[in-house]
Homo-oligomer: A and B are copies of this chain.
Amino acid sequence: MINVGIIGATGYAGSELVRIISAHPDAQIKTLTSQSYAGKKYSEVYESYRHKDYICDEEDIEKMADECDVIFLALPHGVASKKVNENILSKTKIIDLGADFRLQNIETYENWYTTHYAKDILPEAIYGLCEINREKIKGKRIVANPGCYTSCSILSLYPLVKEKMIDLKTIIIDAKSGATGAGRGLSLANHYCELNESVKAYKVASHRHTPEIEEQLSYAAGEDVVLNFTPHLIPMDRGILATCYANLNKDYTYDDIRSAYEKYYKDEYFIRLTKEGTFPETKWVKGSNFVDIGFTIDKRTNRVIVIGALDNLFKGAAGQAVQNMNILFGLDEKTGIDFVPVFPA
């Protein structure tokens, strides 16, 4: 059994991790911590756990590193980079669900986020987008689990970028997310009556997932990619839909594009291509680790429109984190996360 520690277990991503690990056949929760609820029963924070006796501990990462085979960090940005160091990594593996180890370009990180406190560690971290970086993840000590928007956006566009089928200067990603993406913290924006029955864009041209998408797509392209990314808040709990636009470099047919997607994804269990004329909907991936991807070509504008969908708390956070754990520990990648989507949910 893999002994698991979870730091930040009472946020939404953390609680989804607890839910997955608690039923994982090859892993068990050793310690879960919470800054806000330390000392309380986990079932007081999430009453769904009435039948479990989990306790929220004070965080002591040194002790956890001794006792746990892997520690998941579900923390605000800027905190993880203060906690992770060589000593910790010499004793346990780290899977960080936050942003601190996602951007290899430190200048970009510090521009968009804050000071980075583990610059020595950063080069060792691997961007844990499993379907793209699987081989590089194996054997690593620290994995930067991708953001929810970024997982969806990158996987939706990767084959087109890699195969140079689209004009990299024309990429526009218009994304829609449910409210769990904003976390459990209180704010007027998340008040039920303020969010319900309305839709809005936010952080227009300034969302921090932009450089993360760009860095990864630049690796794929072999050149710098700069793009537009616009997130929207949707009155629902879970799910991300990314509608991606780009000009085609040639008069590609549907089958040309399809071949590119199949080249990279045909053996990927968690990526499901929709049939021609059918497009992803977030409800069909909810509660699962699947990413559904569909596309069409608009001949009138010679643009491809690619639509990707995933569950932001699952494949966009906790599910992919466990997928990374499975890779790190040599398990079947699907272990403990092979759920049929829950519908209606």
Contact = CB atoms under 8 A, between A and B. Distances in A.
Interface of A: 12, 15, 19, 22-23, 46-52, 169-170, 172, 174, 176, 178-180, 184, 186-188, 190-202, 204-205, 226-228, 230, 232, 234-239, 241, 243, 245, 269, 272, 274, 278-288, 290, 292, 296-298, 300-301, 303, 305, 307, 313, 338-345
A218 B236 CA distance: 37
Contact of A187 (B176, B186, B283, B305): B186
Given A198-B282, A205-B296, A287-B342, A235 B238 contact: no
A234 B237 contact: no
Contacts of A201: 241, 243, 279, 307
A188, A193, A283, A300 — which one has the most chain B CB atoms within 10 A of its CB? Answer: A193
Q: How many protomers of this protein does the assembly include?
A: 4
Contact of A305 (B193, B230, B238): B230
Given A51-B290, A228-B305, A174 B298 contact: no
B237 A19 contact: no
17 contacts: A22-B340, A23-B340, A47-B284, A48-B285, A49-B340, A172-B172, A172-B303, A186-B187, A194-B283, A197-B237, A200-B282, A228-B245, A230-B243, A232-B243, A237-B344, A287-B345, A342-B345
Contacts of A199: 176, 178, 234, 236, 239, 241, 281-282
Contacts of A192: 179, 190-192, 194-196, 235, 237
A178 B192 CA distance: 10
Contacts of A284: 46-48, 50
A114 B197 CA distance: 34
Given A15-B343, A196-B237, 14 more contacts: A19-B340, A48-B284, A51-B272, A169-B301, A174-B230, A179-B196, A186-B188, A196-B236, A197-B286, A198-B236, A198-B282, A199-B281, A286-B345, A287-B345
Closest A-B pairs by Cβ, 10 of them: A198-B283, A200-B281, A48-B341, A205-B298, A174-B174, A193-B344, A237-B344, A47-B284, A192-B195, A50-B272
A55 to B, nearest CB: 16
B285 A238 contact: no
Contacts of A19: 340, 342
Contact of A193 (B47, B187, B234, B237): B237
A194 B272 CA distance: 20
